[in-house]
Amino acid sequence: MRDDNLLLDGYLDHLRVEKGLAARSVEAYAGDLVRFAVHVRQSGKTLATVDNGDVAAWLVALSQAGISARAQARKLSALRGFFKFLLQERQVTADPTALIQGPKLPRKLPHVLSFEEVETLLAAPDRATPRGLRDHVMIQLLYASGLRVSELVGLKMSDIDLDSSLVSVLGKGSKRRLVPFGEVARDALVEYLREVRPRWGAKGESQHLFITERGRGMTRQGFWKLLGRYARTAGIDKPISPHKLRHSFATHLLERGADLRSVQTMLGHADISTTQVYTHVTTEHLKAAHARFHPRG
């Protein structure tokens, strides 16, 4: 058990320090790996003596426990990263996940808002009030730049370049990227920075771009709640989340002719295959239009 703990601690430190993963991500990896260690320990094995049969048996056990194929794939991915690290560190002589095939996953297309629904959502906050103006600007910037909600609420004053209409984003793996946000979002942001931010900012010392009436930085949970409230006000009856606006950002760009590489860069995807899911969304959009309007559709 002690040896297992040493291996796990070494890998988790690697994720924190060298990979720069967020605390929540490291905790998720830790949970999956600890549960796997407990499973193999019941067979008298340690993490250093695991073979591919142990990994296959674990996947079977997960399936029998009703764990979804997507969750199984995530847990297997955590194992692959762990044993790849152990192999590089010469803690094991073979990777027991190398010959393991993960569960087949149905392609899950992201759900998006139509452009008209986005417009209705943006019009929901009362811009005549300080809170309504801030909320409008946050939704506007999220849709204009495709940021993750954690990236949005984590923005500092110094991350915004109003002259160039660019935002510097600290994304996954502590990697920075520059994302344009356009003139419409810029004009709304200028109004917020002129009318609201100085008044609320005087109550605290937060360097966050988006703050509360008490001068504190906005939270992810706070933004989720206000977005849901404005969606109901706008009469949008489909489930909504900050990530749905990110999906909508990417899909609407591709529908209007943006190239995939540019969208990949703006979203901060390390692998273009992650971005390619949006091409399937736009293809479905084209097929639906053909079926609806072609005389032999």
Catalytic residue IDs: 148, 172, 243, 246, 269, 278
Outline where the chain has alpha helix (H): 2-13, 23-41, 52-64, 69-88, 115-123, 130-145, 149-153, 182-195, 197-201, 220-233, 242-255, 260-267, 272-275, 277-293
How far does CA 286 lie from the centroid of its chain? Answer: 26
Which residue has 């990236």 as its token pair? 151
Contact 158, 233 (CB under 8 A): no
Token code pair at residue 31: 């949970």
Residues facing residue 179 across a β-bridge = 167
Q: Cβ neighbours of residue 224 under 8 Å, at least 6 residues apart?
A: 149, 241, 242
Contact 48, 91 (CB under 8 A): yes
